[in-house]
Amino acid sequence: MPRAILAVLACCSLLACSQAPQRMADGPRRIVSLDYCSDQYVLKFADRKDILALSPESQRRYSYMRAEAVGLPQVRPRTADVLTLQPDLVVRSYGGGPGVESFMETAGVDVVTVNAPDTIEGARAEVLRMGRALGQPAKARALVAEMDRRLAALADRKGAPITTLYMTPGGVTAGEGTLINELIAAAGLENFQDRPGWSALPLERLAYERPDLVAASFFEDEAGYVHNWSAARHPVAQAQLRELPVVSLEGAWTACGGWFLLDAVEALATAAEARR
């Protein structure tokens, strides 16, 4: 049996025999987050004093709550490292791998998994669910109410249809059935991409037909480096970025599903107003 697994099992046995951390009636008090998607919810809803550690990605540019993460400890998403902290709750989206929940359960540690919503309504529901899990249901309800107000304000805007092409450095775009398509629609825009799901940029169509606006994602830092093989490097795609109005969608707005999706919707709506 690999040494790493033996170490984890020994740690689980030791923790199971020791006194478990006290759980408070109004929420967990020793919280560890394993990835940057779960970091957002922990930082939003947990009291700072209750956060034992965040993920190593918590202060990266694509982490929406990165400013709030400054000064808090970080832990690698390895079971032995996490159990050493003796948490009473582990929050994760993908961090720790598929086997982490069973290891944590063996050690008597609760795990809450953050879902990846593919609609704004799903993101709204996830905010409410995570707020309850972290002992802050009232704060979550207030946050959802604010989301609803922002969406209602956008729905009141009227104007001529604006077609928008979503573009990534990898040379792909998104159509019907994706969260990106929902964001474009919520901003009152029309998606230029007429194929459902994720697909390569429609270079042939772009050669003779253009959108009114380009929504460029992950072009703002080194994570958005455009590789030589990417369709985003094609002269037709580069012409869109050079000659059309471009709104930059920060990775922190769209990398995980949450209340911060509304920042992307508002940025799209503002760009559309300027275009009109």
**Domain identity same for 55 and 175:** no
Specify if 31 maps to a domain.
yes
**Where in the sequence is the domain holding 72, given as residue range(s)?**
23-114
3-state secondary structure of 81: helix
Specify if 269 maps to a domain.
yes
Q: What is the pLDDT of residues 134-191, one digit of tens each?
A: 999 999 999 999 999 999 998 877 677 899 999 998 899 999 999 999 999 999 999 9
**Domain identity same for 270 and 150:** yes
Q: What is the pLDDT of residues 192-211, one digit of tens each?
A: 999 999 999 999 999 999 99
**Domain identity same for 110 and 152:** no
Beta 190-191 vs 172-174: how paired, if at all? unpaired
Amino acid, single-letter form, for residue 9: L
Q: Are 184 and 247 in contact (CB under 8 A)?
A: no
Question: What H or E segment, with its residue span, contains residue 111?
Answer: strand 110-113
Q: What is the pLDDT of residues 37-92, one digit of tens each?
A: 999 999 999 999 999 999 999 999 999 999 999 999 999 999 899 999 999 999 99
CA distance 234 to 231: 5
CA distance 212 to 190: 10
CA distance 36 to 54: 8
Domain-terminating residue out of 114, 131, 157: 114
Q: How many domains does the chain have?
A: 2
CA distance 15 to 80: 11
**Domain identity same for 270 and 185:** yes
Q: What is the pLDDT of residues 214-259, one digit of tens each?
A: 999 876 554 445 555 678 888 888 888 889 999 999 989 998 889 9
CATH code of residue 210: 3.40.50.1980
Specify if 132 maps to a domain.
no
**Domain identity same for 265 and 177:** yes
Specify if 75 maps to a domain.
yes
CA distance 181 to 164: 10
